[in-house]
C-alpha cells in the first residue's frame, strides 16, 4: 500500500468511528494503523457476520468493507447494514476493477469504492469527502427538523374525486389575496388546508430568499369574548387597567402573512363589526385607539357550522358572511371519501412511527377492513388518534386488530358475535351499501360501484330499511 502524504487533520478532533471488514489480516492491520494516524477510532472484523454484530451494538460513521468475503460477501453485508444502520456510509474494497462491481455496490447503497492495491492517499481523500458529506447530511437533517417545528408539514392526502376537487380549488385560489371561507366538520383538516393555501400563495414577498411569511391561527371559540378583541387587534397604553404599554394584536404581528380565524361563527357581534372593517378597509382599531392602523394580512376563516343559518338566526352579520364567502371551500368528511383511508393510514402511520422512533410497515388486512368500516365521526383527527394509540401499544411491524381500540367498529363485532348467519349478512350488506351511498350520493354511481342494477339497489335499500 502506498503511504498518504496528508493526514485528515480536520477529523482528529472529532475522532469518528470507522469499521474495517476484510478477511486478510495484513490488510486489516495496515488499514487500522493508518486510520488511527488519520484520527479515527478503528474497530476491525474478519467477516461480514462479525461486522453486522459490531454494527448492531455500536454506532459507526464509515465502514470499509471488502467485496470478496468468505461466508457473507460484501454485497450481502451491505444489504444487512442498510437494514440495521442505514446512516453508515460504506466504501467497498475490490480487487476487480469492473464497472459491474461498482454499479452493483452503488445500487445497494454504497457511497464509494476502492480498488486493491489501496493507495492510502486516495483513501484519505475519499474519507475527507465522506465526512464532509455526512456533516452536511446531519446539518440538513437538523434544519429540516427545525423547519418542521416552525412550519408544520402541510400535505393534503386524498385521490378521491371529492378530495381532488377540494385540492384543485385550493390550488387555484392560493396565489390570490382573496378572503376564503373553509367549511367542514370538526377534524376534517381545515387548519391544514389553510396552511396549504398560505404556503401556496405569495402571502408577502415574492423574494424566495426572504424568511417565510407568518401564518397565525386564532381559535375564536377558545378565547374568552372579553379578551378576543384585544388578541386580534391589540390595545393602546392606558386602554384599561394594567395596559401600561401599547401591544400589537394578531393582525399586526402577521404583517403580510395570513391570519387564520378558526371557529369564526363564535365571534361576538361587536368583534364581527371590527373584523368587517379589517376586510373592507384593510384597517383595524386597537382597543383604546383613536386612529385606525392599516394592516396587510390575508384572512382565512373556518367553521363547522352553517353560517347562512347563523345569519338567519341573527348570530352572525350578513355583510360579514358575504365578505368571507368570496370563495368557499368545503372539506368533505372522511366517510364521504373512504377510498382515501389506505393512503391516509400509510401516511399517518409513517409520520407518527418515525416521531416515536418505531418502524412499521403498515396494517394487516383484517385491521384495514375494520378501519374501512368505521363511520369516523371525528374524521381524520379521529383516525390519526387511533393510529397513534396503535403505534404506542404495538410492537410492530404490522398493526393488527388487537392494536385497535375495542368497539372501534361495533357494527362488525355485533353481528359476528350475536347474529345468525342470515342476519349477519343482512347487517353487513346494509353497512356496506350505506358506506357506498355516503361516498356516492348519486344512486346511479352507487349502483355502478356495487356492480348491481339501479333497480336492484332501490329494492335492496327498501328491504334493508335504508332511506331512499
- For cell 407518527, the residue is 352
Q: What residues contact residue 10 under an 8 Å CB cut-off, 6+ apart?
A: 128, 131
Answer yes or no: is 352 within a domain.
yes
Do both 197 and 328 map to the same domain? yes
Do both 40 and 178 map to the same domain? no
Tell me the C-alpha distance between 314 and 269, whole Å: 9
pTM of the model: 0.58
CB 90 within 8 A of CB 68: no
Answer yes or no: is 2 within a domain.
no
Count CB neighbours of 105 within 10 A: 23
Do both 166 and 300 map to the same domain? yes
Return the pLDDT at 424.
60
Return the pLDDT at 450.
85
Return the pLDDT at 357.
86
Q: What is the CATH number of the domain that holds 265?
A: 3.40.50.300
Return the pLDDT at 207.
42
Answer yes or no: is 366 within a domain.
yes
Do both 304 and 177 map to the same domain? yes
Q: What is the CATH number of the domain that holds 24?
A: 3.40.50.2300
Task: Name the residue range of residue 243's domain.
Answer: 161-332
Tell me the C-alpha distance between 456 and 433, whole Å: 12
Peptide bond just before 397 cis, omega within 30 deg: yes
- For cell 494516524, the residue is 37
* Overall domain count for the chain: 3
CB 61 within 8 A of CB 88: yes
Instruction: Return the C-alpha cell found at 257.
Output: 402573512
Do both 347 and 268 map to the same domain? no
Strand partners, 181: 301, 328
Return the pLDDT at 243.
78
Torsion of CA 160, 161, 165, 168, to 10 degrees: 60
Answer yes or no: is 211 within a domain.
yes
Which helix (DSSP H) or strand (DSSP E) does residue 440 occupy? none
Tell me the C-alpha distance between 433 and 460, whole Å: 9
- Tens of pLDDT, residue by residue, the chain (468 residues): 654 444 443 334 457 899 999 999 999 999 999 999 999 999 999 999 999 999 998 999 999 999 888 889 888 999 899 888 888 999 998 876 555 766 777 777 888 888 888 899 999 999 999 998 888 877 766 765 655 555 555 667 888 889 999 999 999 999 888 999 999 999 999 999 999 999 886 444 444 334 458 899 999 999 888 889 889 999 888 878 777 888 899 999 999 999 999 999 999 999 999 999 999 999 998 988 889 999 999 999 999 999 999 999 999 999 999 999 999 999 999 988 988 999 999 999 988 998 888 888 888 888 888 888 888 999 999 999 999 999 998 887 889 888 888 777 544 444 444 456 666 667 677 777 877 786 677 888 888 888 888 888 888 888 888 877
Answer yes or no: is 448 within a domain.
yes
CB 141 within 8 A of CB 160: no
Count how many Cα atoms sit within 13 Å of the Cα of residue 63 in the half-sphere of its side chain. Answer: 31
CB 167 within 8 A of CB 286: no
Peptide bond just before 88 cis, omega within 30 deg: no
Q: What is the CATH number of the domain that holds 371?
A: 1.10.8.60
Amino acid at each position: 500500500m502506498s503511504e498518504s502524504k496528508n493526514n485528515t487533520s480536520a477529523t482528529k478532533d472529532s475522532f469518528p468511528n470507522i469499521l474495517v471488514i476484510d478477511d486478510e489480516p495484513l490488510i486489516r492491520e495496515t488499514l487500522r494503523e493508518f486510520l488511527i494516524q488519520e484520527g479515527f477510532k478503528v474497530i476491525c472484523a474478519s467477516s461480514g457476520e462479525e461486522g453486522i454484530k459490531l454494527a448492531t451494538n455500536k454506532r459507526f460513521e464509515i465502514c470499509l468493507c471488502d467485496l470478496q468475503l468468505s461466508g457473507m460477501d460484501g454485497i450481502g453485508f451491505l444489504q444487512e447494514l442498510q437494514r440495521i444502520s442505514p446512516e453508515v456510509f460504506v466504501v467497498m474494497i475490490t480487487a476487480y476493477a469492473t464497472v459491474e462491481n461498482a454499479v452493483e455496490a452503488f445500487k445497494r447503497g454504497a457511497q464509494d469504492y476502492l480498488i486493491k492495491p489501496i493507495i492510502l492517499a486516495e483513501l484519505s481523500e475519499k474519507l475527507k469527502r465522506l465526512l464532509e458529506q455526512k456533516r452536511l447530511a446531519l446539518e440538513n437533517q437538523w434544519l429540516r427538523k427545525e423547519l418542521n417545528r416552525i412550519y408544520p408539514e402541510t400535505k393534503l392526502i386524498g385521490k378521491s374525486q371529492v378530495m381532488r376537487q377540494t385540492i384543485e380549488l385550493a390550488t387555484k385560489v392560493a396565489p390570490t389575496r382573496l378572503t376564503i371561507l373553509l367549511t367542514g366538520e370538526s377534524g376534517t383538516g381545515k387548519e391544514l388546508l389553510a396552511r396549504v393555501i398560505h404556503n401556496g400563495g405569495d402571502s408577502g414577498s415574492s423574494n424566495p430568499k426572504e424568511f417565510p411569511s407568518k401564518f397565525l391561527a386564532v381559535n375564536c371559540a377558545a378565547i374568552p369574548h372579553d379578551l378576543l378583541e384585544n388578541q386580534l387587534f391589540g390595545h393602546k397604553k392606558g386602554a384599561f387597567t394594567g395596559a401600561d404599554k401599547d401591544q400589537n394584536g394578531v393582525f399586526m404581528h402577521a404583517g403580510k402573512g395570513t391570519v387564520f380565524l378558526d371557529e369564526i361563527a363564535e365571534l361576538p357581534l361587536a368583534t364581527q363589526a371590527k373584523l368587517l372593517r379589517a376586510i373592507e378597509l384593510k384597517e383595524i382599531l386597537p382597543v383604546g385607539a383613536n386612529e385606525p392602523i392599516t394592516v396587510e394580512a390575508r384572512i382565512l376563516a373556518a367553521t363547522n357550522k352553517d353560517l347562512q343559518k347563523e345569519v338567519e338566526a341573527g348570530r352572525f352579520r350578513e355583510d360579514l358572511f358575504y365578505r368571507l364567502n368570496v370563495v368557499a371551500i368545503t372539506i368533505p368528511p372522511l366517510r364521504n371519501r373512504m377510498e382515501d383511508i389506505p393512503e391516509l393510514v400509510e401516511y399517518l402511520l409513517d409520520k407518527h412511527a418515525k416521531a416515536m422512533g418505531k418502524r412499521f410497515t403498515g396494517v394487516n388486512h383484517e385491521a384495514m377492513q375494520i378501519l374501512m368500516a368505521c363511520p369516523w365521526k371525528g374524521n381524520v383527527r379521529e383516525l390519526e388518534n387511533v393510529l397513534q394509540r396503535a403505534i404506542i401499544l404495538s410492537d410492530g411491524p404490522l398493526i393488527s386488530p388487537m392494536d385497535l381500540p375495542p368497539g372501534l367498529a361495533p357494527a362488525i363485532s355485533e353481528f359476528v358475535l350475536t347474529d345468525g348467519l342470515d342476519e349477519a349478512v343482512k347487517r353487513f350488506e346494509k353497512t356496506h351499501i350505506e358506506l357506498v351511498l355516503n361516498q356516492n350520493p348519486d344512486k346511479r354511481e352507487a349502483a355502478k360501484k356495487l356492480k348491481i342494477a339501479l333497480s336492484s339497489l332501490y329494492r335492496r335499500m327498501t328491504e334493508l330499511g335504508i332511506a331512499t
